[in-house]
Structure 1
Amino acid sequence: MAPRLFVLLLFCLATLPRDAAALTRRDFPDGFIFGAGTSAFQVEGAAAEGGRKPSIWDTFTHQGYSFDKSTADISADQYHHYKDDVKLMHEMGLDAYRFSIAWPRLIPDGRGEINPKGLEYYNNLIDELIRHGIEPHVTIYHFDLPQSLQDEYNGLLSPRFIDDYTAYAEACFKSFGDRVKHWVTVNEPNIETIGGLDSGVLPPQRCSHPFGNCTWGDSTTEPYIAAHHLLLAHASAVSLYRAKYQATQRGQIGITLLGWWHEPATNSSEDAAAAMRMNDFHIGWFMHPLVYGDYPAVMRSRVGARLPDFTAEQSKKLPGSFDFVGFNHYLVVRARAHDSAFNMKQRDYYADAYAIANPFDDIQEGRLEYAPWALGRLLDHLKLKYGNPPVMIHENGYADASELPRKVEYDDDDRSEFLQDYLEVLYLSIRNGSNARGYFVWSFLDVFEFLFGYRMRFGLCGVDMDGEGRTRYVRNSGRWYSGFLKGGELRPAGKAYVAA
C-alpha cells in the first residue's frame, strides 16, 4: 500500500465512530444543537383563558373537521404545566426547546394591543427555560392565524396580512428578543397553503372542484397567492429584525419548511423528471426566491400567469433573508409522471407539478414511508442547489397509535430505533459537507396533531389526555434520547437501541 494511501486510511478510521451503533453526540460538531419541540396550538390548551381568542384551527376543530373529531381546547395543557415540562426537559438534557407564540394569545384580534396575560405566559415560559439552561427557539407563526383576520380579509389571501404579520413579529422581537436568540418567521408555508387552499382538508378550507369539496375557493390560484404573501411577510419581518433589533439582541432569524423528499416511483426517466419537478415545487417554491430572488423556472413555465410576480425591489429583498433554514422532515413521497394532468385546462398545484394522488390522502390513511436515507438526499439537494445554507432539522419524529388512541404507552422502542437511524444519516451528511446546525425531535410531548388529532402520538413523553391532571410519562424513547444527549453510546439491544 502506498504511504500516502495508508496515512489517508488511518485518518478515515480515526475519525469514524467505532461502529454505527456507537455514535454519540460528541461525534457532532461543536455547538450543534439537540432539542425537541411542540407548537402553541398543539400543546398549550387553555383555549379560552387569559384573553386568548380563536384561531382558524379552533374554528376548524370546533366544527368537527379534525381527523378524530377532537379539539385542542385542553390538549397537554402546557399553559398550566410549563414548569413541570421545563423540569422534564432539563432532566432529559435538552439543549433547546422549539415552541411557538400563539398569535391569538399575544394579540387576540390579530392587530392592536398586546394581551397582558399572553405576554406574562410567554415571559414566564422563556424565563423558566433560561433558568434551566435551555435555549428558547421560537416560531412566530405556526398555522394559528387569528380567526378575526380570516373573517376580515380572508387571511393569507390578502396583502394586508403582510403588514399585520410584521407588526405582530415586531411585538415578539420587542417583548422577548432580549432572551430569544433563535427566531423562525413562519412554519411550513409550503404545506399550509396546499392543505388549506388547494385540497381544502385543513383550515380555512378553501378549494374548488375537482380538486376538493369546499364551499368557496380556487385551487388553481389561491395557494400561489397565499404563498407569495407568506414569502413577503417573512422578508418584511427579517428586514425589520435586521434593521432594528439584530445588532443589539444578537439573535438569528430564519424560516422553516416542510421537507418531504420526492423520489421516482419507477426507474423511468419520466418519473425521474417528475420527482425533480416535484422537489422544485415543494422545496424550490420557497428556497428559490430566498436564494435567487424568483420562483423556479419550472414553476414559471407550468403555472404561468397564475404565479404572482415579484417587483424588482422584492426580488432584491428576498435573497439572503435568512440566517438559517429549518426543515421538518418525516418521509419520502414517490412521484409518478402524469403529464396528462398538466394538459388539463384547469389544474392545481399537484397537477402542475407531476401529478399523482394528493399525498394528503396517503397521510390521512396512514400510508407513510419513512426512509432515513431521504434526509441525506434532502441535505445533498440543499448543498448542491442552494449553496449549502445553514440548516436546522426542526422536526423529525415517529408516530404510533393503538386501539386505545389516547392511552399512554411506554413501549416505543421503534421510535428510539427511528431516531437512531436518522441521527446516523444526519451525522454522515455533516461528514459529507452538509451545513446542518441542529436537530429537534418532534415531539417533546404528545400533542394534538394537526393531521391526526390524538389518534397518533409522537411524544418522547406521553400525556394522559383523559386525566384531569394531564400526567406526563417519560417513554423509553425519552430515556434513549436523554442517554444520547448525556454522552452515552448507542448500542443495539434486540430490536431497539438503548443508551449506555
Structure 2
Amino acid sequence: MALLSPLTLNAQNHNSFLSKPYLPSLSSRATTRIPLHIKRRSLPLFRTQCSAKGGDELRSGSTASVKPQPLIIKSDEVKRSDFPPPPQFLFGAATAAYQIEGAWDQDGRGPSIWDHFTQNHEDKISDKSTGNVALDHYNNYKDDIKIMKEMGFETYRFSISWSRILPEGTIEGGINPAGVAFYNNVINELLANGITPFVTLFHWDAPLALEKKYNGFRDKRIVKDFVDFAKICFIEFGGRVKNWSTINEPWSFATHGYSLGWHAPSRGVEGVEFGNPLTEPYIVTHNLILAHAAVVQLYRDHFQAIQRGQIGIVINSIFFKEYSDSEADKKAAKRGNDFVLGWYMDPFVHGDYPKTMKDILGDRLPRFTEEEKKAIKGSYDYFGINYYTSSYAKDKPTSGQDFTYFDDMQISQETKNIFGEPIGELHGSWIYVHPEGIRELLIYIKENYNNPNIYITENGTAEIDNPEISKEEALKDEKRIEYLQSHIQNVHLATLVDNVNVKGYYVWSLADNFEWQKGYTERFGLVYIVWSLADNFEWQKGYTERFGLVYIDYADGLKRMPAKRIHRKIWACLY
C-alpha cells in the first residue's frame, strides 16, 4: 500500500510521515508513562521487544554499503553503564519554545509567525488550537524541571524564542530584558538540578516582524539579524550553555512552510498563500544554511575558546530503503536520501549540494559562491539527527506537471516493499515503526559524511489522542516503551558494533504539547497531559496533570509504578 505522503499530494496527504507534520521544536514525544529513569548506575535499561538479531541485515543493493552486524548482546542486557557516562554520552528529552511555553504576549514577547498563523488561520490546525498557552511552561518551568530531575534526565534540549529576546527580531528594535531573564532562570534551574542544557536557537518560530519587513527567510537579510540574535544568546547564556544548535530541522521548516503550506508562514500548494512551491523551499534552505554558517563563524571567532562549548545543527531524516532490487529503485532510495539528508549534510561536509539535486533542479537550486562554500564546509562540531521512521522508495518518473519539492524527488514512498513486507507498524498518523532504520541511517552518515559526532536529538513516537480513554489506561504505554527501547537498542549497536560516534540521545518529547498543524490531537510525551475540553470543543480552564515518570525495578527489567503527580490550573483558550 502506498504511503500517503507529500510525494503524492491529495486531500488525504496531511498525515505524511516523511514530514513529521507538526514537528518543531519539541518534536518527538514519548510519554511520562514510560519508565525511562536513566541514572548513571549500572542498571538494565531496556527489555527490548525486538528479535535477538537487533537491526536486520540490509538486503543486497542497500543504500548503505556495509551491513549492520548481527546483534551480539541480548536485549535485556543493555544497561546505562554500557553507554559512556556523562558528559561523554547524555540521555534526556527535548521540547521547543512554541510548543510548550505559552505566554505568547507576556512580559514583552513579540509575535512569531506561528502566533500569526494559528490565531488567524484556525482551519489549518486539526483542532483549531494555538500555542498561546500550551503547557504554560513560561510560568511553570520550575515544576517541569523538577519532573526532569525525578525522571533522572541528565540533559534537556530546548529552544529559545527569538521574539521573546528580540520582539522586533532585530537589535535595533530593542532587547527584551524579561525574555533574557526567563532563559537565565531556566538555565540556572537546570544546572542547580544537575541537568545539562542543550539549546536550540531557532525552532521555526521566526519573528513576525521580520516576515513583514522583508519576507523572513526568503530574504538573505535575515542572516545578519539571526547572527545578532545568536550573539545576544552567546553573551547572555554562553558561560553556562556548552551545547548549541543553530537551527532545528531546516528541512521541515522549508518544505512544510514553503512547499506544502502546512506550517507557518503557510506558503505552498495547501497554504494560505500559494507562493512558488518549486523555488521557495530551495531559497529558504539556502538562507538557512548561510545563517547557520555565519553563526558558527561568530561563535568560533569570539566565544568558543573562552566559553569552551560546541555548536552544530539539527537535521531530520527518515531512512529511504529501495522498494526492490531494480536499479531504478536503488537510485530512487539514493535520491530520497540526497533530497532529505544530503540537502543539508552535503554542503556542511563536502561544501555544496548533492549532484543529484543539481542535475534535477538546474537553475531552481541557488548556487553558493566560492567564498560561501569555504564558510559552509566544516561549519559544525556535531550533527543533531532527528529520526522517527523509514520508508521504501520506489522510482516515480516526473510527470511534467510538477508543483512541489516532493515532485522533484521523483520517488513514491511505500509502506511495503515489492515482496509485500511492511516497513513497520503504524503509530499515530505517520510513524511507521522501523527501529533498525535508525542504525542504518547512522551507518549511512558514517560512511558518507566522515563519521561526525552525532547526537540523536529527537526520537519518539505518537498516539492519536483519545478523549474517551481513562488516565489509568492512557498510562499503560506499552507501544511507546517498545518503540523507545528498540530504538535505543539500535543506537547502542551503532556505537558498539558499527563504531558510529553517537554522543547522546533525546526522547521527543518531555511532555505532550502543541504538535504544529496537528494541534493537541497527537501525543508524544513522556509526561501525559490531561487536556480539559468543553462540549463546544473550546479549551476551558482545567487541570493539567503531569505524571513524572516511573522508577524502574531494574532487577526484573522494565516495571511501571505510579509516579508522583503534579497538578496545576491553567487557562487554555482558542483564539
Same fold (TM over 0.5): yes
Could you list the per-position Cα deviations for residues 359-396 of structure 1 after superposition, in whole angstroms to 9, with x for gaps in the alignment?
9xxx9981431100100111011000000110000011
Write the distance in 2 (CA, Å) between the matches of 1:42 and 1:364: 21
Write the distance in 2 (CA, Å) between the matches of 1:424 and 1:455: 29
What corresponds to 1:352 in structure 2? 408
Would the alpha carbon gap of residues 97 and 270 (structure 1) be closer, same or farther in structure 2, given more than 3 Å must change? same
Q: 2:503 aligned to 437, 444, 464, which one? A: 437
Compute the displacement of 1:173 (Å). Answer: 0.5
Write the distance in 2 (CA, Å) between the matches of 1:133 and 1:229: 37
Compute the displacement of 1:491 (Å). Answer: 2.9
What corresponds to 2:337 in structure 1? 279
Could you list the per-position Cα deviations for residues 471-494 of structure 1 after superposition, in whole angstroms to 9, with x for gaps in the alignment?
3123xxx32xx549xxx467367x
Would the alpha carbon gap of residues 228 and 433 (structure 1) be closer, same or farther in structure 2, given more than 3 Å must change? same
Counting only pairs closer than 5 Å after superposition, residues 202-221 of structure 1 correspond to structure 2 as 202-207=263-268, 211-212=269-270, 214-221=272-279
The code of the aligned residue for 2:545 comes to: T
Q: 2:79 aligned to 24, 36, 47, which one? A: 24
The code of the aligned residue for 1:133 comes to: G
Report the identity percentage: 39
Q: 1:177 aligned to 214, 238, 252, which one? A: 238
Larger displacement relative to structure 2 (154-163 or 256-265): 256-265
Would the alpha carbon gap of residues 245 and 221 (structure 1) be closer, same or farther in structure 2, given more than 3 Å must change? same
Indicate whether 1:455 and 2:521 are aligned.
Answer: yes
| Partner SS for 1:471 | strand
Write the distance in 2 (CA, Å) between the matches of 1:96 and 1:316: 33
Would the alpha carbon gap of residues 26 and 392 (structure 1) be closer, same or farther in structure 2, given more than 3 Å must change? same
The code of the aligned residue for 1:286 comes to: Y
Q: Check whether the contact 2:394–2:413 (CA below 8 A) recurs between aligned residues.
A: no
Indicate whether 1:76 and 2:135 are aligned.
Answer: yes
Would the alpha carbon gap of residues 365 and 459 (structure 1) be closer, same or farther in structure 2, given more than 3 Å must change? closer
Indicate whether 1:34 and 2:58 are aligned.
Answer: no
The code of the aligned residue for 1:21 comes to: D
Q: 1:236 aligned to 294, 314, 319, which one? A: 294
Write the distance in 2 (CA, Å) between the matches of 1:492 and 1:127: 32
The code of the aligned residue for 1:471 comes to: E
Write the distance in 1 (CA, Å) between the matches of 2:285 and 2:107: 32
Would the alpha carbon gap of residues 459 and 190 (structure 1) be closer, same or farther in structure 2, given more than 3 Å must change? same
What corresponds to 1:400 in structure 2? 463
Write the distance in 2 (CA, Å) between the matches of 1:240 and 1:407: 51
Would the alpha carbon gap of residues 222 and 104 (structure 1) be closer, same or farther in structure 2, given more than 3 Å must change? same
Indicate whether 1:145 and 2:219 are aligned.
Answer: no
Write the distance in 1 (CA, Å) between the matches of 2:279 and 2:313: 23
Write the distance in 2 (CA, Å) between the matches of 1:116 and 1:412: 41
Compute the displacement of 1:61 (Å). Answer: 1.2
Write the distance in 2 (CA, Å) between the matches of 1:221 and 1:325: 26
Output the aligned Cα RMSD.
2.4
Indicate whether 1:164 and 2:225 are aligned.
Answer: yes
| Partner SS for 2:333 | helix
What corresponds to 1:426 in structure 2? 491
The code of the aligned residue for 1:420 comes to: Q
The code of the aligned residue for 2:81 comes to: R
The code of the aligned residue for 1:401 comes to: I
What corresponds to 2:309 in structure 1? 251
Q: 1:470 aligned to 509, 530, 544, which one? A: 544
Q: Check whether the contact 1:47–1:54 (CA below 8 A) recurs between aligned residues.
A: yes
Q: 1:411 aligned to 455, 462, 476, which one? A: 476
Q: 2:327 aligned to 245, 269, 273, which one? A: 269
What corresponds to 1:117 in structure 2? 178
Would the alpha carbon gap of residues 161 and 406 (structure 1) be closer, same or farther in structure 2, given more than 3 Å must change? farther
| Partner SS for 1:165 | helix
Q: Check whether the contact 1:406–1:455 (CA below 8 A) recurs between aligned residues.
A: no
Compute the displacement of 1:264 (Å). Answer: 2.2
What corresponds to 1:11 in structure 2? none
| Partner SS for 1:84 | helix
Q: Check whether the contact 1:33–1:439 (CA below 8 A) recurs between aligned residues.
A: yes
What corresponds to 1:382 in structure 2? 445
Q: Check whether the contact 1:21–1:490 (CA below 8 A) recurs between aligned residues.
A: no
What corresponds to 2:454 in structure 1? 391
Indicate whether 1:304 and 2:326 are aligned.
Answer: no
The code of the aligned residue for 1:320 comes to: G
TM-score normalised by the chain length of structure 2? 0.77
Q: Check whether the contact 1:405–1:455 (CA below 8 A) recurs between aligned residues.
A: no
Would the alpha carbon gap of residues 377 and 46 (structure 1) be closer, same or farther in structure 2, given more than 3 Å must change? same
Write the distance in 2 (CA, Å) between the matches of 1:73 and 1:240: 33
Would the alpha carbon gap of residues 122 and 439 (structure 1) be closer, same or farther in structure 2, given more than 3 Å must change? same
Would the alpha carbon gap of residues 80 and 469 (structure 1) be closer, same or farther in structure 2, given more than 3 Å must change? farther
Q: Check whether the contact 2:427–2:461 (CA below 8 A) recurs between aligned residues.
A: no
Compute the displacement of 1:348 (Å). Answer: 3.1
Higher RCO (CA < 8 A, seq sep 6+): 2
What corresponds to 1:6 in structure 2? none
Would the alpha carbon gap of residues 452 and 405 (structure 1) be closer, same or farther in structure 2, given more than 3 Å must change? farther
Could you list the per-position Cα deviations for residues 192-235 of structure 1 after superposition, in whole angstroms to 9, with x for gaps in the alignment?
1000111111111112xxx4455331011110000000000000
Compute the displacement of 1:402 (Å). Answer: 3.6
Would the alpha carbon gap of residues 86 and 406 (structure 1) be closer, same or farther in structure 2, given more than 3 Å must change? farther
Write the distance in 2 (CA, Å) between the matches of 1:184 and 1:98: 10
The code of the aligned residue for 2:336 comes to: M
Would the alpha carbon gap of residues 411 and 206 (structure 1) be closer, same or farther in structure 2, given more than 3 Å must change? same
What corresponds to 1:194 in structure 2? 255
Write the distance in 2 (CA, Å) between the matches of 1:497 and 1:265: 43
Could you list the per-position Cα deviations for residues 278-321 of structure 1 after superposition, in whole angstroms to 9, with x for gaps in the alignment?
10110010000000110011111001111111111111111111
Write the distance in 2 (CA, Å) between the matches of 1:455 and 1:292: 40
Structure 1 residue runs without a partner (length 5+): 1-14
What corresponds to 2:36 in structure 1? none
Write the distance in 2 (CA, Å) between the matches of 1:16 and 1:265: 28
Q: Which has more helix, going by share of residues?
A: 1
| Partner SS for 1:34 | strand
The code of the aligned residue for 1:53 comes to: G
TM-score normalised by the chain length of structure 1? 0.88
Write the distance in 1 (CA, Å) between the matches of 2:452 and 2:522: 32
Write the distance in 1 (CA, Å) between the matches of 2:340 and 2:475: 35
Compute the displacement of 1:84 (Å). Answer: 0.9
Write the distance in 2 (CA, Å) between the matches of 1:214 and 1:333: 29
| Partner SS for 1:461 | coil
What corresponds to 1:5 in structure 2? none
| Partner SS for 2:213 | helix
Compute the displacement of 1:265 (Å). Answer: 2.9
| Partner SS for 1:123 | helix
| Partner SS for 1:57 | helix
Could you list the per-position Cα deviations for residues 432-458 of structure 1 after superposition, in whole angstroms to 9, with x for gaps in the alignment?
111110000011111111242111111
